[in-house]
Amino acid sequence: MLISLFITCYKDTLFPDTGKAVVRVLERLGHRVEFRSAQTCCGQMHYNTGYTADARALMEKFVRDFDGAETICAPSASCVAMIRDHYPKMAAASGDAGLHRRVDELVPRVFEFTELLVDKLGVTDVGASFPHAVTLHTSCHSIRSLQLGDRPARLLRAVRGLELRELADADQCCGFGGTFAVKNADVSAAMGADKARRVVETGAAVCAAADNSCLLQIGGTLTQRGEPVRCLHVAEILAAGDGR
Amino acid sequence: MIRVGRAAEAPPFPVAAKRALGNAQLRRNVRHATNVIRGKRAVVVGEMPDWEQLRDAAHAIKEHTVRYLDFYLEQFEENCTRAGGSVHWAADADEANRIVIDIMRAAGRTEMIKVKTMTSDETGLNRALEAAGLVPHETDLADLIIQLGEDRPSHIVVPALHLNRTEIRDIFRGAMNRAELTDRPEELAAAARQFLREKFLRVDAGFSGANFAIADSGSICVVESEGNGRMCVTLPRVLITLVGVEKVIPRFQDLEVFLQVLARSATGERMNPYNSIWTGVTPGDGPQEVHVVLLDNGRTAVLQDEASRETLDCIRCAACLNACPVYQQTGGHAYGSIYSGPIGAILTPQLQSMEHSRSLPYASSLCGACYEACPVKIDIPEILIHLRERLVDAGEAPAGERWSMKAAAAAFASERRLGAAQKAARLAQWPFARHGQLSHLPPPLNAWTEHRALAAIPPQSFREWWATRERAGGA
């Protein structure tokens, strides 16, 4: 299958290793991947902060950039939620029937990474090996918007040597929230501190998530506190090992 | 004037929140109380096989009602009047307070016993009564604590949630002149009971809020846990009820939906211990003078914005407060309004036409826990975003933010510009980078680095890596 990657703006810039891990996992499973370099951002930050006109322009660009792509994969639950939940509404509000139709055609072809593996490709064991204790942060967008359920956990449980440790208060937000982290920095940091404490309590060496944005918050808090827990995107764990 | 309590005097949310975060006792109290209620709610919601259908039904009834609000309000007025009640219409807080004062004076009453009513906090009724020489006595236990402690409510259902029993003991010791009181809950409840009983038996005017005003019967419904409300609405001969216009529901039968979802969402009970419903006047039994004041105070203006008018569907259960990770950190006072938490963050700004509450739509990480908990399915995160959009469109967003968003939009406009921006950011970060970590970044990013570490931007972006790989002929 030819899978078109949407790497997302901040992963492209701040977390290139996640994108590389996605490429590795999908190719190892025998799929071809493409990266359309015209892509930039889904518009989530602008949309969530109230800059709808800018978000709409980025939506139109996204639709153009991924024109004709059969299967689109993004290793970010929040960006997929932006596309799935908000693109159709924004397109309907634009009054542009052609755009609305193109968006409606595009949305069902966009998959979050773990969703693509489990639902579309039918795999839970990707042949990875990662002999460490791992805890999983289930991000708000992954559980409430995309309803990913236990898909990320099932993928991690199938990894050789990986011990998955349960995270208390798993459904609580880490406090990132995009511009919330800056506009309400004190509250955001207090939420991050709670989450970091729960992560440390698990005793896991690694905190995983299907969103790098949460990991930016959790990892930043852990590092600030001198905690040795590493934060890794689920894809980076699934890419570990030789794939056999 | 449209007024929501003292919200106009409140500091912006981030400022008030920072103050709350510094109060460790308050945070412990709020965390403990919200955890307890959330746990109870989860049990009684989990046992309902038709919970989602009940939510859908509640949402559908409310949406229908809000759409035909004028019709149902007039039907309520007609049926309540026919049953011997008097219906008054108040355009704003001041008019509502004036109507209540006039009724009290005409009836020759100087004191009133009140059962919990958020709406009278909204209009600032107690201050208006006191200014007119009248005396309000709060009788709901939590509201009594707030009144005696000269405090403000911090939660829609549990107004004194921010206080623990030791703090309550100290308030009672002072206000009731009972130095011997301990902090045993039984003792505190007995003290309140004794204090209030005298008022129930003596004061001959009652005042209530309403959970529902029922159009097809002209009835008012109030639910509560203590029975003090039952005293207020049955003992005095004069009874005044203040109702926000959005509290009307079409049919008596609709209570079958709302009484199920409200108690479970609000207090984690299967049913409220006291459900009082009355219809006008019953000669020789209960209040012989029954008034209902229907309050607008900005609500019909909310109706006009189709994208956010479902805010008016709220039944004030506070499930969104208990579920909200932001509320759990700050408690209710930080929201500067009697309506706190996620629902307060969308209701207060709309009632006040955003005038005094521009910071509230941003008091959320958009995690969606509120929407998930809401028994009438108000999509609070969507409305928060919509209100942010309204502020941006009105040119009310801070200049720095507008500039940052414009710069980001420009960078995202093309592959070439994004690549250039990535390179520029990597160069610009060097003065701030040490051992792979960034610190002391300039505003607005200092808000990040003051609290959290930030790894330096890696030397190669994904797109650069991909281009190199392509040139090399694939993996």
Contact flag B362-A179 (C-beta cutoff 8 Å): yes
Virtual torsion, Cα B231, B234, B237, B241, nearest 10 deg: 90
Is B410 among the domain residues? Answer: no
The amino acid at A137: H
Is B93 among the domain residues? Answer: yes
Among residues B300, B322, B357, the one where a domain terminates is B300
Tokens of B203: 């004061």
Cis preceding-peptide flag for B444 (omega within 30 of 0): yes
Closest of B324, B239, B320, B325 to residue B276, by C-alpha: B239
Closest of B155, B345, B163, B165 to residue B266, by C-alpha: B155
Residue B418: list chain A partners with CB under 8 A: 9, 12, 40-41
Is B268 among the domain residues? Answer: yes
Q: How far apart are CA A127 and CA A240, in angstroms?
A: 9
* DSSP calls for A113-125: HHHIIIIIS--S-
Domain region containing B88:
7-300
pLDDT tens by residue, B104-115: 999 999 999 999
* DSSP calls for B319-377: HHHHH-HHHHHH-SGGGSSSS-HHHHHHHHHHHTTTTT-TTGGGS-----HHHHH-TT-
Q: How far apart are CA B60 and CA B71, in angstroms?
A: 17
pLDDT at B185 over 60: yes
Mean pLDDT, rounded, for B83-111: 98
pLDDT at A127 over 80: yes
ipTM for the complex? 0.97
Rounded alpha-carbon distances, angstroms, from residue B237 to B81, B86, B101, B208, B289 = 17, 14, 16, 14, 6
Mean pLDDT of the residues in chain B: 95
Contact flag A39-B411 (C-beta cutoff 8 Å): no
Question: How large is the greatest C-alpha to C-alpha distance in chain B, in angstroms?
Answer: 95
pLDDT tens by residue, A3-19: 999 999 999 999 999 99
Residue B444: list chain A partners with CB under 8 A: 182
Assess B275–A contact: CB distance below 8 Å, yes or no: no
* DSSP calls for B41-64: HHHHHHT-TTHHHHHHHHHHHHHH
Q: How far apart are CA A67 and CA A1, in angstroms?
A: 17
**Domain count along chain B:** 2
C-alpha gyration radius of chain B: 26
Q: How far apart are CA B159 and CA B157, in angstroms?
A: 6
Question: What are the residues whose beta carbons fall under 8 Å from the beta carbon of B343, sequence distance 6 or more?
Answer: B156, B311, B314, B316, B318, B320, B321, B370, B378, B380
Confidence at residue B443, expressed as pLDDT on a 0 to 100 scale: 83
Do A106 and A112 meet the contact criterion of CB atoms below 8 Å apart? no
CB atoms within 10 A of CB B6: 15
pLDDT at B474 over 60: no
The percent of residues above 90 in pLDDT, for chain B, comes to 91
pLDDT at A163 over 80: yes
Confidence at residue B3, expressed as pLDDT on a 0 to 100 scale: 81
CB atoms within 10 A of CB B66: 20
Tokens of A242: 């030789």
Q: How far apart are CA B57 and CA B39, in angstroms?
A: 24
Assess B96–A contact: CB distance below 8 Å, yes or no: no
Among residues B248, B275, B300, the one where a domain terminates is B300
Assess B440–A contact: CB distance below 8 Å, yes or no: no
Is B320 among the domain residues? Answer: no
Please report the residues numbered 194 through 233 in chain A whose beta carbons come closer than 8 angstroms to any beta carbon of chain B: 216-217, 219-221, 223-224
Residue A172: list chain B partners with CB under 8 A: 325, 369
Is B200 among the domain residues? Answer: yes
Do B16 and B10 meet the contact criterion of CB atoms below 8 Å apart? yes
* Burial tier of B254 (Cβ tally within 10 Å: 0-12, 13-18, 19+): buried
Residue A145: list chain B partners with CB under 8 A: 368
Tell me: do B420 and B291 sit in the same domain: no
Cite the DSSP H helix spans in B132-286: 141-148, 165-176, 185-202, 228-234, 255-266
Could you tell me the pLDDT band of residue A162, with boundaries at 50, 70 and 90? very high
Sheet with A32-35, edge to edge strand ranges: A32-35, A2-5, A71-74, A110-112
Question: How large is the greatest C-alpha to C-alpha distance in chain A, in angstroms?
Answer: 53
Among residues B300, B315, B343, the one where a domain terminates is B300
> Given B17, B408, B413, which is nearest A187 (Cβ)?
B17
**Phi/psi zone of residue A178: left (φ > 0), alpha (ψ -120 to 50 degrees), beta?**
left
pLDDT at A55 over 90: yes
Please report the residues numbered 80 through 109 in chain A whose beta carbons come closer than 8 angstroms to any beta carbon of chain B: none
Q: How far apart are CA A177 and CA B304, in angstroms?
A: 29
Residue that wins the pLDDT comparison between B2 and B38: B38
The amino acid at B133: G
CATH number of the CATH domain containing B166: 3.40.50.10420
Is B58 among the domain residues? Answer: yes
Which of B38, B305, B452, B465 is the best substitution to test chain A (most A C-beta atoms within 10 A)?
B452
Closest of A65, A119, A75 to residue A214, by C-alpha: A75
Q: How far apart are CA B268 and CA B42, in angstroms?
A: 7
Assess B397–A contact: CB distance below 8 Å, yes or no: yes
Q: How far apart are CA A80 and CA A146, in angstroms?
A: 8
Residue A38: list chain B partners with CB under 8 A: 414-415
Please report the residues numbered 286 through 325 in chain B whose beta carbons come closer than 8 angstroms to any beta carbon of chain A: 325
A81 vs chain B: nearest CA distance in angstroms?
12
* Burial tier of B133 (Cβ tally within 10 Å: 0-12, 13-18, 19+): exposed
Assess A41–B contact: CB distance below 8 Å, yes or no: yes
Q: How far apart are CA A176 and CA A213, in angstroms?
A: 7
pLDDT at A87 over 60: yes
Confidence at residue B445, expressed as pLDDT on a 0 to 100 scale: 86
pLDDT tens by residue, B408-449: 999 999 999 999 999 999 999 988 888 888 988 888 888 898
Do B164 and B107 meet the contact criterion of CB atoms below 8 Å apart? no
> Given B361, B405, B451, which is nearest A185 (Cβ)?
B451
DSSP-derived 3-state class of residue B278: strand
Could you tell me the pLDDT band of residue B356, with boundaries at 50, 70 and 90? confident
Confidence at residue A244, expressed as pLDDT on a 0 to 100 scale: 63
Do A136 and A148 meet the contact criterion of CB atoms below 8 Å apart? no
Is B259 among the domain residues? Answer: yes
> Given A54, A172, A217, which is nearest B405 (Cβ)?
A54
Confidence at residue B81, expressed as pLDDT on a 0 to 100 scale: 98
Is B279 among the domain residues? Answer: yes
A95 vs chain B: nearest CA distance in angstroms?
16
Tell me: do B421 and B281 sit in the same domain: no
**In chain B, count of helices (H) and strands (E)?**
22, 13
Closest of B401, B369, B405 to residue B384, by C-alpha: B369
Closest of B187, B197, B259, B189 to residue B222, by C-alpha: B259
Mean pLDDT, rounded, for A191-201: 98
Could you tell me the pLDDT band of residue B353, with boundaries at 50, 70 and 90? confident
**In chain A, count of helices (H) and strands (E)?**
14, 8
Confidence at residue B354, expressed as pLDDT on a 0 to 100 scale: 78
Q: Which residues pair with A5 in a beta bridge?
A: A35, A73
pLDDT tens by residue, B256-280: 999 999 999 999 999 999 999 999 9
Tallying the residues shown for chain B, one arrives at: 475
Tell me: do B58 and B183 sit in the same domain: yes
Closest of B282, B27, B315, B274 to residue B139, by C-alpha: B274
